[in-house]
Amino acid sequence: MITEWILDTLIRALAVGTPLLWAALGEIYAERSGVINLGVEGMMILGAFFAFAVAHTSGNPALGLLVAGVVGGASALLHAFLSVTLRANQYVSGLALAMFGLGLAGVLGRGWEGIPLLNTLPEISGLTYLGVVLAVVLWFVLYHTRLGLVIRSTGEAPAAADALGVNVARVRYLAVVFGGILAGIAGGFFSVAYRPSWTEGMTGGTGWIAIAIVIFAGWDPLRAVWGALLFGALYYLSFRLQTWIAPEALRMLPFAFTIVALAATSRRRRGEGAPEALGLPYASGEK
């Protein structure tokens, strides 16, 4: 009985953990390049809607995920344009993207609610395993390749990278768009695999949790795997325990734990922690 319960929780944690991991990995790359994108939730919900719409019309859920990735990337492009080219405040732009995505998906999704999806992907699918493989690959790229060095440098000291001929704007654009693609796919996972249907706001705040995982993981793709699993379990438990504890209190659980985790991980040694230029717009030659 109890082992079954634990096993069940674990499996469900893996299921919710999958989109959390994908979204967090994307955000890690964006933030490592120096751009914080608080619009993850918005990119995810857009991904969820387009994945569902495409999967429903074409009957191909994988195609749905693909389109979700494109949509996520395109919406991230907007954030990149605002924050890199126009040098707008990244926090405001990201929050706007989150609101915009939620609103747009709500409008577009009218009339799609309640329709069942015939061809779905399993909850624990290739995406879960691929997510772990992706984490390892992204970790390796970040710490052990030229590309990773360029991305990290851009986020730490853009002026230094610029002086060595690195195109800071291009790196940041690519990283942000890459983050958007992963967030879009993460969102698509909800509507074609996790709960194959479309409901408004179905990503349920997981985009915000993904951002917390980034910090919890110390901007390290490998550690994000554990973060995603942990937060996945909490997220699932917040539904599972509803029989015993008030649902309102439970729904706070992942977010309350986010605060606890941030408090616990904030005391880091020098050399860890957020990229030094995170959130700061860069312009060449400015003093």
Partner 1 sequence: MLSLRGITKTFPGVLANDHVTLEVRSGEVHALLGENGAGKTTLMSILYGIHQPDAGEIRLRGRRVHIRSPRDAIGLGIGMVPQHFLLIRRHTVAENIALGLPGERFVRPARRIEPRVRELGARYGLAVDPRAAIWQLSPSEQQRVEILKALIRGAQALILDEPTSVLTPQEVRGLFDVLRRMKQEGHAVIFISHKLDEVTEIADRVTVLRRGRVVATLPIAETDKRSLARLMVGRDVEFQVRKAPRTPDGDALVADNLVVLSDRGLPALRGISFSVRRGEILGIAGIAGNGQRELVEVITGLRPARSGRVRLLDHEVTNLSARALHEAGVAHIPEDRMLMGIVPAMSVAENLVLKQYRYPPFSRGPVIDRQAIAQFARRMIAEYEIVTPGSDVPARLLSGGNIQKLILSRELSGRPEVIVASHPTAGLDVSATEQIHTVLLQRRQRGAAILLVSEDLDEILALADRIGVLFSGEIVGIVSGAEADRERLGLMMTGQRV
Residues that bind partner 1 (CB under 8 A): 144-147, 149-150, 152-153, 156-157, 159-167, 270-271, 276, 284-285, 287
CB of 41 to partner 1, least distance (A): 30
Question: What is the C-alpha separation between 48 and 67, in angstroms, rounded?
Answer: 10
Question: What is the C-alpha separation between 39 and 36, in angstroms, rounded?
Answer: 9
- Residue closer to partner 1 (CB basis): 159 or 252: 159
DSSP-derived secondary structure letter, 165: T
Residue count of the chain, please give it: 287
CB of 76 to partner 1, least distance (A): 25
181 three-class SS: helix
CB of 28 to partner 1, least distance (A): 16
CB of 161 to partner 1, least distance (A): 6
- Residue closer to partner 1 (CB basis): 168 or 192: 168
User: Could you give the C-alpha distances from 52 to 46, 108, 153, 231, in angstroms and in order?
Assistant: 10, 12, 38, 25
172 three-class SS: helix
From the centroid of its chain, how far is CA 195?
Answer: 18
DSSP-derived secondary structure letter, 266: S
Question: What is the C-alpha separation between 23 and 149, in angstroms, rounded?
Answer: 22
- Residue closer to partner 1 (CB basis): 58 or 85: 85
59 near 53, Cβ under 8 Å?
no
- Residue closer to partner 1 (CB basis): 205 or 273: 273
Question: What is the C-alpha separation between 216 and 273, in angstroms, rounded?
Answer: 10
- Residue closer to partner 1 (CB basis): 14 or 161: 161
Question: What is the C-alpha separation between 95 and 81, in angstroms, rounded?
Answer: 15
Helix axes 168-189, 40-58, angle to 10 degrees: 50
- Residue closer to partner 1 (CB basis): 99 or 170: 170
CB of 284 to partner 1, least distance (A): 6
- Residue closer to partner 1 (CB basis): 123 or 162: 162
CB of 287 to partner 1, least distance (A): 6
CB of 106 to partner 1, least distance (A): 40
State the DSSP H helix or E strand holding residue 111, giving kind and residue range, or none if neither: none
